[in-house]
């Protein structure tokens, strides 16, 4: 084995430190790039799942109304689902989703724009 002089040892030591520092910078920038992409993707996924959940609940509400005999034209189903709103942790698709006369008449989810009517005898909210 060949022995290195003082200059050769210092040169190898600086090369070693340079390689370590360059590797750390590279690792730092790669981790920043991956972390930012993951956080953005995670938020986008959460938003898509929430939108799907709201559409699923709205569709279930409409299915219950059809089973109970409410006539909902097929052309209106897509618009009713798209216009559904979340109010008090409940998805409101139409007047029939309100459970009290106050909510029915004030339409806090602003779905029907004041077209709900409360029938006191049946305690049900219908669209005018």
The whole domain housing 84 covers 8-127
Q: How far apart are CA 40 and CA 33, in angstroms?
A: 11
Contact predicate 96/117, CB 8 Å: no
* pLDDT beyond 80 at 128: no
Q: What interhelical angle do 74-82 and 6-67 show, nearest 10?
A: 140
Contact predicate 117/106, CB 8 Å: no
3 belongs to a structural domain: no
81 belongs to a structural domain: yes
2 belongs to a structural domain: no
pLDDT score at 115? 81
- Report the chain's mean pLDDT, rounded to a whole number: 82
DSSP 93: -
Question: Judging by beta carbons within 10 Å of its beta carbon (0-12, 13-18, 19+), is residue 105 exposed, middle or buried?
Answer: middle
Number of Cβ within 10 Å of residue 45's Cβ equals 10
34 belongs to a structural domain: yes
- Between 38 and 118, the more confident residue is 118
pLDDT-derived band at 66, boundaries 50, 70, 90: confident
Mean pLDDT along residues 72-78 = 83
pLDDT score at 20? 95
Number of domains in the chain: 1
DSSP 95: G
67 belongs to a structural domain: yes
Give me the residue label for tokens 């007047």.
95
Cα angle, residue 43 at apex, residues 55 and 25 outer, rounded to 5°: 165
């Amino acid at each position: 084995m060949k022995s290195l002089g003082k200059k050769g040892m210092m040169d190898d030591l600086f090369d070693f430190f340079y390689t370590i520092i360059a590797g750390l910078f590279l690792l730092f920038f790669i981790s920043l790039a991956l972390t930012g992409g993951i956080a953005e993707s995670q938020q986008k996924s959460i938003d898509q799942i929430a939108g799907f959940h709201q559409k699923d609940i709205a569709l279930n509400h409409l299915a219950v109304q059809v089973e109970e005999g409410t006539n909902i034209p097929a052309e209106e189903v897509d618009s009713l689902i798209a216009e559904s709103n979340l109010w008090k942790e409940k998805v409101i698709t139409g007047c029939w989703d309100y459970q009290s006369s106050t909510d029915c008449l004030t339409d806090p989810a602003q779905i029907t724009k004041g077209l709900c009517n409360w029938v006191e005898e049946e305690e049900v909210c219908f669209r005018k």
